[in-house]
């Protein structure tokens, strides 16, 4: 199957809309409930501890540059930190260099601060697909459109099936079970995200 740039853009738009819906749910529902906000912050703390442990372990054998970024709400809601995720973020930063150089505000002919900020955010968040999409648009060497499309489709599928996305859909549908279901999901995510859980 040969995918067009337009199809990749459409699929990425679907992913972006899902991420925005999840972000709205977190801000409009989770953070407005003190108990839910506390649980969400505990998950963030667990994930930050896991990330710190992984970086410390990896730095014993190789240099790992993950930067000093704090975990975003979407990181907390959708990311399990694995060596794969660290590599993904490092890859995004590397791929973004050509675009960041082109769009840099100091470049007289090609400066574009909006695009510069978009690509910079994508590189920090490890959004390899968005960076590849813009590399294609600018005529730079990038992964094949088929590969980029498949990767975006996989992210869409995972996000649609994620427990917090289910909560977000319940919230949008104004389900009376949203609060209890979100408590249950966050309790499970606290346990799953704990870097120090005991084997049971």
Q: What is the pLDDT along the chain (200 residues), one digit of tens a residue?
A: 689 989 999 999 999 999 999 999 999 999 999 999 999 999 988 888 877 777 666 555 544 455 555 666 777 777 665 666 777 788 888 999 999 999 999 988 888 888 899 999 898 888 899 999 999 989 898 889 999 999 999 999 999 999 999 999 999 999 999 999 999 999 999 988 887 765 44
Q: How far apart are CA 69 and CA 147, in angstroms?
A: 28
Q: How far apart are CA 100 and CA 184, in angstroms?
A: 42
Kindly report, residue by residue over 99-111, the tens digit of the pLDDT. 999 999 998 888 8
Kindly report, residue by residue over 142-173, the tens digit of the pLDDT. 889 999 999 999 999 999 999 999 999 999 99
Q: How far apart are CA 193 and CA 191, in angstroms?
A: 6
């Amino acid at each position: 199957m040969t995918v067009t740039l337009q199809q990749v853009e459409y699929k990425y738009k679907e992913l972006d809309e899902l991420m925005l819906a999840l972000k709205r749910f977190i801000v409009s529902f989770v953070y407005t409930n003190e108990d839910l906000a506390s649980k969400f912050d505990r998950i963030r703390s667990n994930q930050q501890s896991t990330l710190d442990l992984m970086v410390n372990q990896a730095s014993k054998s190789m240099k790992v540059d993950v930067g000093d970024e704090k975990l975003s709400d979407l990181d907390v809601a959708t990311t399990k930190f694995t060596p794969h995720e660290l590599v993904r973020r490092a890859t995004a930063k590397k791929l973004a260099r050509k675009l960041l150089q082109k769009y840099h505000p100091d470049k007289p002919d090609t400066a574009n601060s909006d695009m510069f900020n978009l690509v910079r955010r994508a590189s920090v968040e490890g959004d390899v697909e968005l960076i590849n999409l813009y590399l294609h648009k600018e005529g730079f060497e990038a992964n094949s459109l088929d590969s980029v499309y498949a990767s975006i489709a996989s992210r869409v599928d995972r996000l649609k099936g994620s427990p917090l996305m289910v909560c977000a859909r319940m919230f949008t549908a104004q389900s009376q079970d949203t609060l209890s279901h979100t408590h249950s999901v966050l309790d499970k995510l606290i346990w799953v995200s704990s870097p120090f859980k005991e084997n049971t």
